[in-house]
Amino acid sequence: TKTVLVDTRKTTPGMRMLEKEAVRIGGGMNHRIGLFDMILLKDNHIDFCGGVHNAITRARQYCKDKGLDLKIECEVRDFAELNEALKDLPDRIMFDNFTPADTVKAVELVHAAGTPAHIETESSGGITFDTMIPYAKAGVDFISFGALTHSVKALDMSLKAKGSSKLSM
């Protein structure tokens, strides 16, 4: 598929840049380095603002007031929030905890809504290495999951030589 795997900001304290570089070297893409390079409206922001429309409007006003040119990504938890987001046209819509089947429907809605081609789609929430393929096949542009950085297993390396247990010099 054309889906790109992206990391999250869920990294080991003091190791963010190393972990994000490892994702990049491994073929993934860095989603955001910090809070300064893209606005991501998560569920708590949406709830505190009183809905998707208010959150997107306030984020746009913040960018205008501060003279910032930042992309705005909006997380949606269901189809009602998705329909609300489609009215305000953020740069990217993140489908949070959608099933692969619902993700297919959500991607279709984004494309069918006559929205500008610049709206990107992303799946996130509960996705693992074992479940990412159905999400990619659903047609999203991006899949993000914290396991790329926060659940990495250390490589078990040993320098033991095989063969004779006796050393000769």
- pTM score, whole prediction: 0.82
Q: 73, 40 in Cβ contact below 8 A?
A: yes
What pLDDT is attached to residue 91?
A: 93
Q: Which amino acid is at 108?
A: E
Q: Which residues pair with 123 in a beta bridge?
A: 95, 143
CA distance 68 to 63: 5
> How many CB atoms lie under 10 A from the CB of residue 89?
15
Q: 136, 143 in Cβ contact below 8 A?
A: yes
- Tens of pLDDT, residue by residue over 79-100, are 999 999 999 999 999 999 999 9
Model confidence at 30: pLDDT above 90: no
Model confidence at 141: pLDDT above 70: yes
To the query of whether residue 10 is one of the catalytic residues in this protein, the response is yes
> 22-31, 63-72, 159-168: lowest mean pLDDT where?
159-168
Q: 96, 63 in Cβ contact below 8 A?
A: no
Query: Could you tell me the CA-to-CA distances from 132 to 9, 88, 100, 147 in Å, in that order?
Result: 19, 28, 9, 11
More confident residue, 166 or 56: 56
Q: Which tokens go with 112?
A: 């069918």
Q: Which of these is catalytic: 10, 42, 71, 105? A: 10
